A and B are shown apart, each in its own frame.
Chain A
Amino acid sequence: MDDVASPAGATAPVISVAGVGIRFRRNRRGRRSFKDLFSDSRRRSRPGEFWALRDVSFDVRPGEAIGVVGRNGQGKSTLLKLVAEVILPDTGRVVVRGGVAPLIEITGGFVADLTVRDNVYLTAGLHGMSRAEIDERFDEIIDFAEIAAFVDTPYKHLSSGMKVRIAFAVISRLDEPVILVDEVLAVGDAAFREKCYRRIEQMLADGRTLFLVSHNERDLKRFCDRGLYLDGGQLVLDGPIEEALARYRSDHPPRPAA
Chain B
Amino acid sequence: MSTALAERPRRSGAARYRQTLWLLTSRDLKVRYSTSALGYVWSILDPLVMAGIYYFVFQVVFQRDVGAEPYIVFLLSGLLPWMWFNGAVSDSTRAFLREAKLVRSTKIPRTIWVLRLVGSKGIEFALSLPVLALFAVLGGAHLQWQVVFFPLAMVMQAVLVAGVGLIVAPLVVFFRDLERATKLALRFLFYASPIIYGTNDLPEQLHVLAAFNPLSGIFGLYRSAFFPEQLDVLEALVGGGMCLALLAVGLVVFRRSERAVLKEI
A residues sitting closer than 8 Å to B (CB atoms) are 1, 3, 22, 24-25, 32, 37-38, 62, 81, 84-88, 90, 99-100, 102, 104-109, 111, 113-114, 118, 122, 125-128, 130, 175, 177, 205-208
Contact = CB atoms under 8 A, between A and B. Distances in A.
A207 B3 contact: yes
15 contacts: A32-B175, A38-B256, A86-B262, A88-B259, A88-B262, A102-B105, A108-B101, A108-B104, A111-B31, A114-B31, A118-B30, A125-B20, A177-B5, A206-B4, A208-B5
Given A38-B257, A108-B101, A125-B23, 9 more contacts: A37-B174, A62-B3, A86-B107, A88-B258, A113-B31, A113-B35, A114-B30, A114-B34, A207-B3
Contacts of A127: 106
A109 B4 contact: no
A126 B256 CA distance: 24
Q: What 8 A-B pairs come out closest when comparing CB atoms?
A: A108-B101, A108-B105, A105-B105, A207-B4, A85-B107, A88-B259, A87-B262, A125-B23
B180 interface: no
B174 A126 contact: no
A22 B16 CA distance: 28
Taking chain B's interface residues, is the majority helix, strand, or loop, or is none over half, making it mixed?
helix
Contacts of B103: 86
Interface residues of B, number: 35
Contacts of A122: 23, 27
Contacts, number: 90
Nearest to B9: A130
Contacts of B107: 84-86, 100, 102
Nearest to A33: B174
Contacts of B258: 88
B34 A87 contact: no
Interface string B239-265: 000000000000000001111101100
B259 A104 contact: no
Interface in B1-58: 1-5, 8, 10-11, 16, 19-20, 23-24, 27, 30-31, 34-35
Contact of B106 (A1, A118, A126): A126
Contact of A128 (B4, B16, B24, B104): B16
B174 A32 contact: yes
B155 interface: no
B264 to A, nearest CB: 8
Contact of A37 (B3, B34, B101, B257): B257
B258 to A, nearest CB: 7
B8 A175 contact: yes
B108 interface: yes
B47 to A, nearest CB: 25
Given A88-B258, A90-B259, A130 B11 contact: yes
Contacts of B16: 128
Contact of B101 (A32, A109, A205): A109
Contacts of A88: 258-259, 262
Given A38-B257, A111-B31, A125-B20, A3 B105 contact: no
Contacts of B102: 108-109, 126
Nearest to B3: A207
A198 B15 CA distance: 34
A37 B23 CA distance: 31
Nearest to B22: A125
A125 B19 contact: yes
A205 B3 CA distance: 11
Given A105-B101, A114-B30, A208-B5, A37 B108 contact: no
B39 to A, nearest CB: 13
B4 A111 contact: no
B5 A206 contact: yes
A3 B262 contact: no
Nearest to A28: B264
